[in-house]
Amino acid sequence: VLLFGVPGMAGTYMGAWLATWVSGLVQLALFAVVMLVASWQMLKPADLDDSPHEPREVWKIVLDGLFVGVLTGLVGVGGGFLIVPALVLLGGLSMHRAIATSLVIIALKSFTGFWKYLDVLDQ
């Protein structure tokens, strides 16, 4: 949670801040593109390897958390469809642990995004 969630919270705050300068239409288009790419990836045949994944370098996990945070903060979504694969592939977590961990990360990021969007709505 710390390696992915804390940078994700910072990224969510930055993404919500960026949303003040990006039109709603661009945000919607960006969200649509990300969802189409995610859908395409899910349609591809899965490589069902039951062996545990090896964790990657810490900086990659932190950078991915930051990137996912910025993206989800910008378009205003929780980001579970991006967080779970990142935790499995980069963090080396099992699918069950990745799903459970993503729920905590999504809750933290959602609170951060809500807090920042309160400022955005005041403008």
Confidence of residue 47 (pLDDT cuts 50, 70, 90): low
pTM for the predicted model, two decimal places: 0.81
For helices 80-89 and 95-122, what crossing angle results, to 10°? 140
What is each CA distance from 73 to 15, 61, 67, 90, 91, in whole angstroms? 4, 18, 10, 21, 21
Distances (CA, A) of 65 to 19, 30, 91, 106: 18, 18, 11, 11
Per-residue pLDDT reduced to its tens digit, 64-86: 999 999 999 999 888 888 898 88
Q: Minimal CA–CA distance to 5: which of 77, 79, 74?
A: 79
